[in-house]
Amino acid sequence: MTPRVRRHTAASGKRRGNGNGSGRRPLAKAPTGIAGLDEITNGGLPRDRPTLVCGGAGCGKTLLALEFLVRGALEYDEPGVFLSFEETPEELVTNARSLGFDLERLSARRRLLLDYVRLERAELTEAGEYDLEGLFVRLGHAIDTIGAKRVVLDTIERLFSGLSDNFLLRAELDRLFRWLKAKRVTAIVTGERDGERLTRHGLEEYVSDCVILLDQRVLEQSATRRLRILKYRGSAHGGNEMPFLIDDHGVSVLPITSLGLTHQVSTAHVATGVAGLDGMFGKKGYFRGNSVLVSGTAGTGKSSLAAHFAEAACRRGERCLYFAFEESASQITRNMRSIGIDLEPWLRRDLLRIHAQRPTALGLEAHLVAMHRLIEEWQPRVVVVDPVTNMIAVGSEIEVKAMLARLIDFMKLRQITALFTSLTEGGGAAERTDLGVSSLMDVWMVVGNLETNGERNRTLQIVKARGMAHSNQVREFVMNDGGIALVDVSRRADGSVAIGSARSAQQLDVRGGGRQPRRQRGSK
């Protein structure tokens, strides 16, 4: 999904061993290959060390651990051993198939070794002192057999239910973790969460480098998964909870990119698609990579502005991806044709793709992942999200804002110019957006209907445009079968702006040298 990023991290992962001697050595990392996880851990899990992944039943720890091995084997040339204490190899093969992984094939190619430890207290008689040397021999042999660089123990805590000597088990676990480090394998050890405790038997005491907590909860009828890095020694990490998702592509942790505010900015311009509108931004339009918000009440022309923008991109030969959360693709093309914007040829030439989906069809994370994926796969230069407000239907305001921030970061990194429409409730202040997302945007335009003297006229104003000289005027625009056109500003003698019929009258008045203003009233 993100080959460029992966190759990069793979290369940096191979650099271990360098940089010795000169002061502090950064912790070497092994990329997991799991979408998003390497970004939030700045490169992956601590190399040659164990990481604890804990969480309640069904939180996804086994699948995350499996993907860590599969990606390691496929993408980083690091074979892996999966030592399971819970699921049989057959069960693992079946479960992995739902993520699109073929464990049998990997096993046949000796890139993966699945081993299952069955330990039932009822089937064992304890008669004297023992230790876990058998486990060490078994794991050591498995590692040596395929030259494994990665190991998963899922979950080693089952030993405690199979054996009675807790004191011995603790000493042996301590020995096991030190042995894993000595073996120079990057390991994931899973543990089951138990109430307030991270793991039932305190595995966190043995793992000092990295602890990841997974969590699944049900919010407003939809299950959401969260991942949090509780501890990562010697490495900066975001302590925030990150949503993650398990689907037929495996595990995806959001943000898929977390570039923060370090992206390159462009000074190239992108036309708005509305001739007069470019002029309001100093004749040239938006900056490439800008995020543009168009907000307004229902029927104010937001989608039309978006369609103009999309069409202009296609005319330049650029790909435009249009996410429609309200209307179907055919509805959009029909409606836009009525105002003279023909999107059909661009759809046919595959310069425009309309991805229509009801927001409620998926959870918020799933939406974001789907959008990331489509953008990643098709690499558009321009993206339209119409309307972004419908996302509210599937998440709380804070979640939606966080999701948008991630999406915007992601697109900025790729210098994608994005236009979002936002539906404002009638009656509210013009500047009010339902999402409070305007702070994320570079450009914010408000469109509205101004009702005066018995007529409704369309207005447009630029509330903000970062880094650009822009007009402060409230402009009138008309929408007819030629699309949207801004109307020339017409001032009255007192300096106020005349709109609608008043403007028509005013213009005629100016042209006509001040005569016959009354007769023109009511004309277009």
Partner 1 sequence: MKNGARRTWRLRLYVAGQTPKSITALANLKRLCEAHLAGQYHIEVVDLVRQPHLARRDDIVVLPTLVRQLPQPIRKIIGDLSNVERVLVGLDVVSHDDPE
Number of residues that bind partner 1 (CB under 8 A): 24
**What is the H or E stretch that residue 166 is in?**
helix 166-182
Alpha-carbon gap, residue 210 to 393, rounded angstroms: 36
Alpha-carbon gap, residue 161 to 26, rounded angstroms: 39
3-state SS of 376-400 is: HHHCCCEEEEECHHHHHHHCCHHHH
Burial class (CB in 10 A: 0-12, 13-18, 19+), 196: exposed
Choosing from 75, 104, 241, 326, the catalytic residue is 326
Contacts (CB under 8 A) with partner 1, residues 96-155 = 115, 117-119, 123-135, 137-138, 140-142
Alpha-carbon gap, residue 7 to 212, rounded angstroms: 24
Closer of 131 and 397 to partner 1 (Cβ): 131
Contacts (CB under 8 A) with partner 1, residues 46-65 = none
Closer of 87 and 215 to partner 1 (Cβ): 87
Give the torsion through C-alpha atoms of 138, 140, 144, 147, to 10 deg: 110
Residue 86 appears among annotated catalytic residues: yes
Closer of 129 and 220 to partner 1 (Cβ): 129
Q: For residue 146, what are the contacts with CB-CB under 8 A and spacing of at least 6? A: 79, 81, 110, 111, 112, 113
Contacts (CB under 8 A) with partner 1, residues 457-516 = none
- Write out the E strands in 395-474: 417-423, 443-452, 455-465
Alpha-carbon gap, residue 410 to 372, rounded angstroms: 8
Closer of 124 and 268 to partner 1 (Cβ): 124
Instruction: Please tell me what DSSP assigns to residue 360.
Output: G
Alpha-carbon gap, residue 148 to 141, rounded angstroms: 10
Choosing from 75, 86, 241, 344, the catalytic residue is 86
Closer of 103 and 369 to partner 1 (Cβ): 103
Residue 311 appears among annotated catalytic residues: no
Closer of 130 and 378 to partner 1 (Cβ): 130
Closer of 119 and 246 to partner 1 (Cβ): 119
Q: Which of 98, 114, 116 is nearest to 106 (CA)?
A: 114
Instruction: Tell me how far, at minimum, the Cβ of 188 lies from partner 1, in Å.
Output: 19
Burial class (CB in 10 A: 0-12, 13-18, 19+), 50: buried
What is the per-residue binding string for partner 1 in 152-171, x denoting contact by CB under 8 A? -------x---x--------
Alpha-carbon gap, residue 398 to 360, rounded angstroms: 17
Q: Which of 93, 104, 34, 43 is nearest to 65 (CA)?
A: 34
Q: Which residues bind partner 1 (CB under 8 A)?
A: 115, 117-119, 123-135, 137-138, 140-142, 159, 163
- Residue positions annotated with a catalytic role: 86, 326
